[in-house]
Chains A and B, each alone.
Chain A
Amino acid sequence: MTLVRHTLYMTLRHLRELWRQPWFVAVTLVQPVIWLLLFGALFKRVIEIPGFHSNSYIAFLAPGVVVMTAMFNAAWSGMALIDDLNRGVTARFLVSPVRREALIAGRILKEAVVVVIQSLIIVALALIVGASFPGGVGGVAVLFAVSALLGSTFGALSNGFALIMRQEEALIGATQFILLPLTFLSTTFLAANLIPKWMQHVADFNPVNWAVVAGRTATSANPDWGLAASRAAFLAGLLALCLAFATNAFRSYQRSV
């Protein structure tokens, strides 16, 4: 109960912080729109490639953009934690009885809230420009859930690294290093049968691809629920590991003070 309550306090704190930065909120909301429209226009004709079994690239792309947006935002979650470290805010929490898990979970839940709002915008926009999601509301809900899982995973990782690195430059470098390769080593932009064989194998181990695959099948006309469930389970397992990592990273920070 204490953990739930502490997590709630922390989540509200971070959401309030976000709300007070209207420009940041604006950019956060506009960014996925740009991605969807930009990539949608750029790759519009890839559906003409033989073997691309889809008749709307936007409909194919939308789940990928949802997942990508979730990851790209949550992966910067640790930056705010470094701010808190530098300002002594974290040290103050650590000498209070607040649960360490709540300090991480609060940040991640905030990211999850943002992810869901961004996802709503992307799906709404995709519908407006003519895409359809035959999987229906249930399928879209699964898409949101897996992106929230992926976002939370990256949020936890980012916070863990923030506690270990404690330096904005280092964290920026590490984050940039992994984001784009993970995006491109997946079926976000192209169907699996059209990307090189070795990439397909790599993608099988890529959590970004787990989320894309699960989200895409759930929103399709004939969802493969077994596939979606297995990928969601992988993501949940990975999230649990990353949460444990981030919570333990407080020890690394405390050794340094």
Chain B
Amino acid sequence: MEYAIEADGLVKSYPKGVTALDGLSFAVAPGSVFALLGPNGAGKSTAVKILTTLAKPDAGRATVAGIDVIADPDRVRRTIGVVAQGSGVDIQATGRENLRLQGQIHGIRGRDVEARAQELLERFGLADAGDRIAKGYSGGMQRRMDIAMALAHDPAVLFLDEPTTGLDPEVRADMWSEIGRLARERGKTVLLTTHYLEEADQLAEHVAIVDRGKIVAEGTPEELKRELRGDAIHVDLDGEYNGTVTRALTELEAVRDVTVEGRTLRARADDGGRAVPVVLQTLESHGVRVASVRVARPSLDDVYLKYTGRTFDAAEAEQTEATR
């Protein structure tokens, strides 16, 4: 299969000896949403800058839509749309002028470029603000404008570098649904970087965890969590049934680590969702009554902890310390 984005052993260091990328490799299937997840300073933005031809790697190679980013940057630029970490909106121009210019430099002209600008303004809820100077736009509007500009030429591959950083929670939720909508568009590949675990979990089909310039784990959010070997199952019992319960459950294959404390039963299962009916059935057949059941899924935070040996928050704090 030809990948939409392929990075192979990317290395990049900055003056003052900061190593941003230390052999970063990953591949993104066409038409999918792929998230690079990691704390600030993990190297995600550097990876995006290389893939979008803004920066050059010290070593390694990368292709976008099968085109080599180092050998043929101009062709890559025609294929991609980019939303950088900071805004790239010209705040002295109106929204429409921004969109028009983006379309024009991609070779769209005349009536076509006007129609495209109008279409994007409407789609991103900016139709009323389209002829106002972008300086007056709110943070959320500017971010939507950024995405609209990246879509001006209907690119096959879209890069979103921390698209929701610094936005209010409500605006962020709006952005998520917008990005989700983009991803469902035919054939569009989206590479998203984020330091929000929740964001990667919600939007991406594939997640790669980046730590200190390398990918430390990769898979679907579900796969990554499953690798933790198990959801936690909590069952609140309707009375004390210690002996009966343990005997009944230890024989099941679906669960392990069964412990009962008072009225609370705890067990781990590879797949909590599948284990619960089995557990309930077994308990019922042994005459144990159940008050409530809860399955706690492992979060990407747990995954991050497993692969890097530190929690996400600790990594962020460490990075903030290092850049000070």
Contact = CB atoms under 8 A, between A and B. Distances in A.
Interface in A117-171: none
B13 to A, nearest CB: 12
A13 interface: yes
B52 A95 contact: yes
Contact of A97 (B55, B86, B93, B105): B105
B297 interface: no
Interface in B41-95: 49, 52-56, 74, 77-78, 80, 82, 84-93
B97 interface: yes
Interface in A10-26: 13, 16-17, 20
Contacts, number: 69
Interface string A1-13: 0100110010001
B194 interface: no
Nearest to A251: B56
A23 to B, nearest CB: 14
Interface in B101-115: 101-102, 104-107
B149 interface: yes
B105 A9 contact: yes
B93 A16 contact: yes
Contacts of B101: 9, 13
A257 interface: yes
Contacts of B280: none
A89 B90 contact: yes
A91 B56 contact: no
B77 A257 contact: no
A16 to B, nearest CB: 7
A88 interface: yes
Given A91-B54, A92-B84, A254-B56, A98 B105 contact: yes
A252 B185 CA distance: 37
- The 10 tightest CB contacts between A and B, nearest first, are A92-B88, A88-B86, A88-B88, A98-B105, A95-B52, A97-B77, A95-B82, A17-B92, A97-B78, A9-B104
Given A87-B91, A95-B77, 6 more contacts: A20-B133, A91-B54, A91-B84, A96-B106, A97-B78, A97-B105
